[in-house]
A and B are shown apart, each in its own frame.
Chain A
Amino acid sequence: MTSLATNPELVRHLRTELRQRRVIIATVVSYVVMALVAMTISANQPVAHQLRPDFFKALFITLIVVQSVVFLLWCVYACGNRISTERMQKTFDFVRTTRLSAGELVFGMVFGLPSMAYFILLATSPAVIAAGLLAHYSIVAILLTYFMLFVVGLVLSLFGLLVSMLMEKPQPAGMIFILWLCIWPWSVAAAAGGGDSIFPALITLSVVPCLLPFYGYVPYEANPAVSSVTLFGLHMPSLLVSLLLFASFGLWLAQPLLRNLKKDMEDMRLLSRWQGIGLAAYFNVVGFAMLDMHRVLGLKSRANATVDVSNGFVLMNCLVFYAVGLAMVSSAPKLRAWWRNSGSSLDRYWNQDGPPLLWMLAAAATALAVYAGAAVAWTRLIPLRSWPVPVLPLFVVFAYAAKDIMFLQWCCTTRFRRPVTMGVLFLGLYYAAVTVVILTLFREPVQDRVIAFFMPFSAIAGENITTSALGAGVQLAVALLFMRWIELRLDRPARILPAGSSAAA
């Protein structure tokens, strides 16, 4: 392991990004922009207020918002297309054949690619801090703001790098998608956390409301105690919760990068099977930790509260199963190697490289265990016997997810150029077609039962469970059929490549 400061990847980016001329230009431009901002604010203030705390408040807020937006967008942009660009230019192969580990590369890229953004932030921060102090804001608040900006920038850089690793070519549309993904969940979370949400800790996904109390502001009248939120039933400082969440997101984003960065695209698989189970546990633990049961019981009767929590648990795990399944899909070469080397029957399916069906089942069992653990933890509020046991609805969503993931796994044994992408498109088409056909051919109340048979939504809502379970049985049977079809395909002897065609292409 090379030392962090002499990390070659970091040094390389520092050299290219921070050339003397660029640094001088960036500094001059930054200070000109700040001067223009100050003049604009000054022009809108009465003469008597100029160079008073109100002026500096306005100046500080404007500058720190501009700094944050520029810094975060720069982080995403710098990392979001980097690996795909290098892959397209065929420079990345040379990096992959060096002795640098994936960890060293990720470190160098995450801090090196946006190094100009870090420089601008550092160069302009003395002026911004001075404005903050003249506005009578506490230095602690200002430094905490910069610290959280750094943390969020780091997570966004990791996210950009991950997307870039998964894209074959740099794409502007992909970049827009990344930016949208970066902004959207936090806006939703902030909106949800600001009201009477049963997940008050969601607000910590948007760092700004957690910082405002340090500046003496109360961001939401409906939620005055925003400086502390409930996590695991305990009141904790919201900024600390925010930090914990972002740190854990960063770790989960780093995992697939560390696993796959030095691999060929064809050999990539986002997470190992155990990591997949870990991810399912993480989502469930975080989900339950954020749930404020006192608030739930304040809004609903005990019976309704447990049913709602149980339904929410099933809905969340519907998404979790798909996410975990997608992260565990094996590539075609891995599948063939698995088929050739697989041993006895159970070992064959409980394998790092085979189809992920049993591992998804393990993820479902883990989710159920977390649910049970949460119910036990809340026994002082709700007796254990009051909790519904959501085995059947969970089985329904598991069956649908398992069938769809096994279909995607089957696609990997075909000659689709992008098998998983093609598979997802086919699944979208399938669900759209089923929905249209059902809505066209059937009328209520038959329609509800048909939907329950062909779709998992009724089970998530806790309705028509028996019909849903029957449909899920069919889905599971289809998943097993896909497993068999995968094996039959793998049984076929591979063909020699036709002359004149290129395998690598």
Chain B
Amino acid sequence: MITIENLRREYGDLVAVEDLSVSIPQGEIYGLIGPNGAGKTTSIRMACGLLTPTSGRVTVNGVDVHGDPELAQSYIGYLSDFFNVYDDLKVWEYLDYFAHAYKMNEAAISARIEEVIAEVGLEVKRDSFIRGLSRGMKQRLGIARAIIHRPQVLLLDEPASGLDPKARADLRAVLRSLRDAGTTVLISSHILSELEGFCTSIGVMERGRMVRSGRIDAIVAEQTPYRVLRVEWLGEAPVAELLGTSGHVSDVVVSTTQAAFRFAGSPDELAAVLASLVAAGVRVVSFSDVKQTVEDIYMKLSHNEVM
């Protein structure tokens, strides 16, 4: 859906983005993570046609963003971090302006405006002036603007910056519904918890370069050839000794009635470990994976640049 090929941007004799290549298929939520100054914003601005690359190209739905910008923009929705909206317009007027600016079918515009207003939960503010909206509402209006023309690709640059927890939760809910509707999303953030449980793929950028890019499960599997598990039980039991008997278990850390350990075996072998605990009379109440967070992955992939 969106393909970035050898993208490079220089400012004077400084390279902000160096030979960035990423391909994001339809329906993917791609998180671009990295420290401040890693080149995330520059990459997104080039991807949506705001900045001309020094070299390389970006295609969306097969259309060159810089070669045929007018057609490409019909496929792209863009939202940046801190932004203003036209305070002297009403909510529906603001969306009407952008619907026409994206050259949508005239007959479909009114219905689409009502639809996106409902989608971002601004029904009661439809006829209000934008200057009366809260920061979170303005952010939601920004999302409504970005999706008014049903873009196939959403490019979001730090969209949750400066939002309170409630507004962040609202934002995540809206983005989840867009993901479910099949929209491809490229989202950048340096706040890793923002992307947790949301992205299907990530790319780690540092100093203008892509350090690693791919699906989260594939990266996890590649970075950690073992699983980290946690077991919890009732009463006293020699769990450390019992786990130690399995050749696939290592690094067992026990604390009173729970233990964490690494496991490098097949699912059958893991089932056998659990069975051996139960057979030895351990009253197991919980036996589960310790999930790798985006932050864990980042810390493994990062070259320890400043966050």
**Which positions in A face B, CB cutoff 8 Å?**
2, 6, 8-9, 11-12, 15-16, 89-91, 93-101, 262-264, 266-267, 332-333, 336-337, 340, 413-415, 489, 492, 494-504
A-B contact pairs, 5 of them (CB 8 A): A91-B84, A97-B50, A262-B69, A264-B45, A496-B207
Known: A94-B83, A98-B101, A332-B11. A497 touches B16 (CB 8 A): yes
A499 near B55 with CB under 8 A, answer: no
Contact B86 A500 (CB under 8 A): no
B80-115: CB near A (< 8 Å → 1, else 0) gives 101111101100010001101111000000000000
- CB contact under 8 A between A499 and B306, given known A90-B83, A93-B78, A336-B10: yes
- Whether A503 contacts B86 in the complex (CB less than 8 A), given A2-B103, A99-B102, A99-B103, comes out as no
The residue among A95, A263, A500 with the most chain B CB atoms within 10 A of its own CB is A500
Q: How many CB-defined contacts (below 8 Å) exist between A and B?
A: 142
Bound-state CA distance A390–B196 (Å) is 73
For B76, the chain A residues whose CB sits under 8 A away are: 97
Residue B14 interfacial (CB < 8 Å): yes
Q: Inside 8 A of A502's CB, which chain B residues have their CB?
A: 36-37, 41
Residues on the B chain within 8 Å of A94, using CB: 78, 83, 98, 145
B145 proximity list for chain A (CB < 8 A): 94
Whether A495 lies near B78 (C-beta < 8 A) is no
- List the B residue with the shortest CB-CB distance to A95: B101
In the complex, residue of chain B having the shortest beta-carbon distance to the beta carbon of A17: B88
- A492 in contact with B101 given A94-B78, A497-B208 (CB within 8 Å): no
Distance, CA A492 to CA B15, complexed state (A): 12
The chain B residues found within 8 Å of chain A, CB to CB, are 9-18, 35-39, 41-42, 45, 48-52, 54-55, 69-70, 73-74, 76, 78, 80, 82-86, 88-89, 93, 97-98, 100-103, 145, 206-209, 305-306
Which residue on B lies nearest to A416, using beta carbons?
A: B12
Q: Contact between A494 and B37 (Cβ–Cβ < 8 Å)?
A: no
Is the pair A497, B100 in contact by a Cβ cutoff of 8 Å?
no
Q: Is the CB of A267 within 8 A of B51?
A: yes
Q: Across the interface, which residues of A come within 8 angstroms of B35, CB to CB?
A: 499-500
Q: Are A503 and B97 in contact (CB under 8 A)?
A: no
Contact A97 B49 (CB under 8 A): yes
**Chain B CB within 10 Å — which of A263, A332, A333 has the most?**
A333
Further 10 A-B residue pairs, CB within 8 A, beyond A494-B15, A495-B15: A2-B103, A90-B82, A91-B85, A97-B49, A99-B101, A266-B51, A336-B54, A492-B13, A497-B37, A503-B208
Given contacts A12-B89, A494-B13, A496-B208, contact A98 B36 (CB under 8 A): no
Contacts of A500 in B (CB 8 A): 35-37, 305-306
Interface centre among B50, B70, B85, B101 (most CB of A within 10 A): B101
* Nearest-neighbor residue (CB-CB) of A16 within chain B: B88
Q: Is the CB of A16 within 8 A of B37?
A: no
Report B-chain residues with C-beta under 8 Å of the C-beta of A89: 83-84
List chain A residues, Cβ under 8 A from B82. Answer: 90
* Chain B min CB distance to A49 (Å): 47
Q: Say whether, besides A2-B103, A94-B145, A499 and B74 are in contact (CB < 8 Å).
A: no
Cα–Cα distance between A465 and B102 once the two chains are bound (Å): 60
Docked-complex contact A496 and B18, CB < 8 angstroms: yes
- Taking the closest CB of chain A, its distance from the CB of B149, in whole angstroms, is 8
Known: A15-B89, A95-B101. A495 touches B14 (CB 8 A): yes
Contact B39 A497 (CB under 8 A): yes
For A495, the chain B residues whose CB sits under 8 A away are 13-15
Residues of A within 8 A of B14 (CB): 415, 494-497, 503
In the bound complex, CA of A95 to CA of B305 (Å): 35
Give every chain B residue within 8 A of A91 (Cβ-Cβ).
83-86
A8 engages B84 (CB within 8 Å): no
Instruction: Report A95 CB to chain B, min CB distance, Å.
Output: 7
Contact of A504 among B41, B86, B102 (CB under 8 A): B41
The residues of B that contact A415 with a CB separation of less than 8 Å are: 12-14
Interchain CA distance A405-B41 in the complex, whole Å: 33
Cα–Cα distance between A504 and B14 once the two chains are bound (Å): 11
B46 and chain A: residue at smallest CB distance: A264
Assembly CA distance A90 to B157 (angstroms): 13
Contact call A413/B48, Cβ cutoff below 8 A: no
Residue from the list A12, A15, A16, A503 in contact with B11, Cβ < 8 A: A503
Q: Report whether A496 and B86 are in contact in the complex, using a CB–CB cutoff of 8 Å.
A: no
Output the least CB separation between B28 and chain A (Å).
Answer: 21
B132 to chain A, nearest CB (A): 15
Nearest to B41 among chain A residues (CB) is A504
Q: A91-B86, A337-B54 are in contact. Are A15 and B39 (CB under 8 A)?
A: no
Q: Which residues of A contact B73 (CB under 8 A)?
A: 97-99
Partner of B97, one of A8, A96, A262, A340: A8
Query: Shortest Cβ distance from A201 into chain B, in angstroms?
Result: 41
Taking CB atoms, residues of chain B closer than 8 Å to A263 are 52
Pairwise interchain contact A414-B12, C-beta atoms closer than 8 A: yes
The interface residues of chain B lying within 8 Å CB-to-CB of A90 are 80, 82-84
- Provide the bound-state CA to CA distance between A99 and B13, in Å: 32
Q: Please indicate which of the listed interface residues B9, B17, B98, B100 has the most CB atoms of chain A within 10 Å of its own CB.
A: B100
- CB proximity of A351 to chain B, nearest CB, Å: 16
Which residues of chain B are within 8 angstroms of A16 by Cβ–Cβ distance?
86, 88-89
Residue of chain B at shortest CB distance from A85: B84
A386 to B77, CA, bound (A): 66
Find B74's partner among A99, A497, A498 (CB 8 Å cutoff): A99
B37 neighbours in A (Cβ, 8 Å): 497-503
Q: Are the C-beta atoms of A264 and B88 separated by less than 8 Å? A: no
When distances are taken between beta carbons in the complex, the residues of chain B under 8 Å from A333 are: 9-11, 52, 54
Bound Cα distance from A28 to B83, whole angstroms: 37
Rounded to whole angstroms, the CA-CA distance of A497 and B8 in the bound complex is 12
Which A residues are in CB contact (< 8 Å) with B101? 8-9, 95, 98-100
Distance of A162 Cα from B156 Cα, bound (Å): 30
- When C-beta atoms are compared, the residue in chain B nearest to A503 turns out to be B16
B86/A12 in contact, CB under 8 A: yes
**Residue in A93, A332, A340, A498 whose beta carbon sits within 8 Å of that of B12 in the complex:** A332
User: Are B50 and A93 neighbours in the complex by a CB distance under 8 Å?
Assistant: yes
Tell me the bound Cα distance from A333 to B13 in angstroms: 9
Closest Cβ–Cβ distance, residue B213 to chain A (whole Å): 18
A14 to chain B, nearest CB (A): 11
Q: Which of A2, A8, A97 has the most CB of B within 10 A?
A: A97
Residue on A nearest B79 in the bound complex, by CB: A94
Give the distance in Å from the alpha carbon of A43 to the alpha carbon of B17 in the complex: 72
Cα distance A385–B108 when bound, in Å?
72
